């Protein structure tokens, strides 16, 4: 079996998680609420300090439903060009009828100053600004954390111009594991927050959107339009609940493994490693080694990594990658880089 560090989504449910899934109490969520899904939604709302939460099959769908909830067709949303919501969703925001206005980060991730710079005065020639969307951790920036202070400053800019803020917190669990600051503090900056269960928490599938009850009622309608009802969703919600209660505390292990991997690989063969804040390591390769070629050579040696751009590969640590496996992965990656 190769060491698979392409993503933290590759984990397989553990035996106790499978047991929890098999034993889940279920009902028709679309008619009168699936009991396990309701429990999951209540737990997520509690952790995020929001009135309500709504279960979604994927983070992609939850983010899109949030955009549809906040932003009318024909408006524009502020977002950075490397954000998952515009970069990796098959142009999904087109379904909401909105266009992106890109916030250009001066440094690794966007700041409040960058957001302010992207805002233009209202004009009859430009679409109305309807939403600001921020990603924390930021996947494309290598699992980068936006600090609570910076997020608050960004939220203040959104408030000043009168637009709501959505937080793509697919890996907000990792932010809290790394900083010790409760998720609810970050969530308080945003009107809606998406969290994902299928990444660091190791659940097979699922995400949730949280916000006020009024916004979640609207998002329920958005979810309906995007795919309908979820029926006995407790079968998958049970895996998410299990992940929340049992795998949150171990996320810092993934961060330690990622840091060790980054240290071991940094500088080898001219590669530049972005120092990881959390569980994602980006490796910028020398011009002599295209990313696809590096990934191919790593795969030949038993390590799977993602091709992120033509010159960048991504490595993600997770529940199914032990410290020993990550160390072996760094040995393989060094070999690939040294042989160029």
Residues at the site binding ligand PLP, with contacts judged by CB under 6 A: 58-60, 63, 84, 135, 139, 168, 170, 196, 198, 207
Nearer to ligand PLP, 184 or 306 (CB): 306
Q: Angle formed by the axes of helices 35-48 and 234-247, to 10°?
A: 40
Using CB atoms, what's the residue nearest to ligand PLP? 59
Q: Across the strands, what pairs with 193? A: 167, 210
Nearer to ligand PLP, 92 or 286 (CB): 92
Nearer to ligand PLP, 261 or 308 (CB): 308
Q: How far is the CB of 60 from ligand PLP (least distance, A)?
A: 3
The number of CA neighbours under 13 Å toward the Cβ of 163 is 26
Q: How far is the CB of 111 from ligand PLP (least distance, A)?
A: 18
Beta-strand (E) ranges in 34-164? 52-56, 76-80, 99-103, 129-135
Q: How far is the CB of 306 from ligand PLP (least distance, A)?
A: 10
The span from the CA of 322 to the CA of 196, in Å, is 22
Nearer to ligand PLP, 166 or 297 (CB): 166
Which residues have C-beta within 8 Å of that of residue 15, sequence separation ≥ 6?
none
Query: Could you tell me the CA-to-CA distances from 324 to 72, 228, 260, 328, 329 in Å, in that order?
Result: 50, 43, 11, 6, 8
Query: Following DSSP, what letter does each residue of 210-272 receive, concatenated?
Result: EE-HHHHHHHHHHHHHHH---SSTHHHHHHHHHHHHHHSTTHHHHHHHHHHHHHHHTTGGG-E
Q: How far is the CB of 201 from ligand PLP (least distance, A)?
A: 11
Q: How far is the CB of 194 from ligand PLP (least distance, A)?
A: 7
Nearer to ligand PLP, 63 or 278 (CB): 63
Which of 287, 283, 286 has the alpha carbon at shortest distance from 306? 283
Q: How far is the CB of 84 from ligand PLP (least distance, A)?
A: 4
Nearer to ligand PLP, 50 or 199 (CB): 199
């Amino acid at each position: 079996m190769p060491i698979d560090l392409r993503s933290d989504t590759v984990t397989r449910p553990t035996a106790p998680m499978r047991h929890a899934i098999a034993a889940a109490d279920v009902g028709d969520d679309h008619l009168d609420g699936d009991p396990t899904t309701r429990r999951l939604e209540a737990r997520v709302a509690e952790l995020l300090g929001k009135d309500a939460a709504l279960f979604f099959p994927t983070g992609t769908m939850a983010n899109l439903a949030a955009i549809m909830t906040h932003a009318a067709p024909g408006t524009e949303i502020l977002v950075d060009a490397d954000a998952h919501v515009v970069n990796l969703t098959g142009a999904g925001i087109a379904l909401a009828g909105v266009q992106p206005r890109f916030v250009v980060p001066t440094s690794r991730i966007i700041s409040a100053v960058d957001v302010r710079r992207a805002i233009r005065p209202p004009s009859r020639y430009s679409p109305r600004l309807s939403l600001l969307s921020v990603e924390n951790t930021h996947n494309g920036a290598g699992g980068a954390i936006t600090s609570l202070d910076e997020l608050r400053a960004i939220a203040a800019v959104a408030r000043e111009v009168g637009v709501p803020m959505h937080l793509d917190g697919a890996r907000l669990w990792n932010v809290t594991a790394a900083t010790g600051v409760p998720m609810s503090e970050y969530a308080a900056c945003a009107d809606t927050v998406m969290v994902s269960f299928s990444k660091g928490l190791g659940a097979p599938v699922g995400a949730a959107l949280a916000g006020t009850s009024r916004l979640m009622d609207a998002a329920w309608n958005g979810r309906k339009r995007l795919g309908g009802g979820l029926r006995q969703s407790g079968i998958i919600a049970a895996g998410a609940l299990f992940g929340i209660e049992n795998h949150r505390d171990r996320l810092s292990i993934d961060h330690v493994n990622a840091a060790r991997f980054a240290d071991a690989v940094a500088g080898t063969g001219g590669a530049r490693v972005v120092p990881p804040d959390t569980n994602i390591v980006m490796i910028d390769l020398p011009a002599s080694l295209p990313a696809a070629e590096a990934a191919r050579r790593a795969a030949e040696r038993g390590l799977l990594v993602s091709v992120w751009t033509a010159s960048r590969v991504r490595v993600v640590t997770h529940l199914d990658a032990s410290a020993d496996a990550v160390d072996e992965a760094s040995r393989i990656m060094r070999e690939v880089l040294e042989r160029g």
